[in-house]
Amino acid sequence: MDLFEIHTTQRLSREQAAARLHALADALSRHNSIELERDGRRVTVSIPDQVDLKIEVELGEENELEIELTW
C-alpha cells in the first residue's frame, strides 16, 4: 500500500483548536472510522476498538503538545 500522509499547520484560536479536537474525539467515540479530506481527495481511516495513546509535552522557546494514536 502506498504511503498516504496529510500534514497541515494552521493558526487557530485556542477555542477553534478545542472545537477541532472535540469533533475528532466525537467521531472516534461514535464510529470506527474518521474521514479526512485534502485537495479534493477523501480518505476514510478505520480505527480499531483498541489504540495506543501517546502524549508528549515539550517546553522551551517554542512549546508543543503532541497527541498521537497508533494501532
pTM of this structure: 0.77
CA-to-CA dists, residue 62 to 1, 22, 25, 58, 68, angstroms: 36, 24, 26, 8, 19
Residues 6+ apart with CB under 8 A from 36: 6, 42, 43, 45
Q: What's the pLDDT score for residue 56?
A: 98
State yes or no: pLDDT of 69 exceeds 80: yes
- Tens-digit pLDDT profile for residues 14-47: 999 999 999 999 999 998 889 888 778 888 999 9
All structural domains of the chain with their residue ranges: 14-70
Cβ contacts of residue 47 below 8 Å, gap of 6+?
28, 31, 32, 33, 34, 69, 71
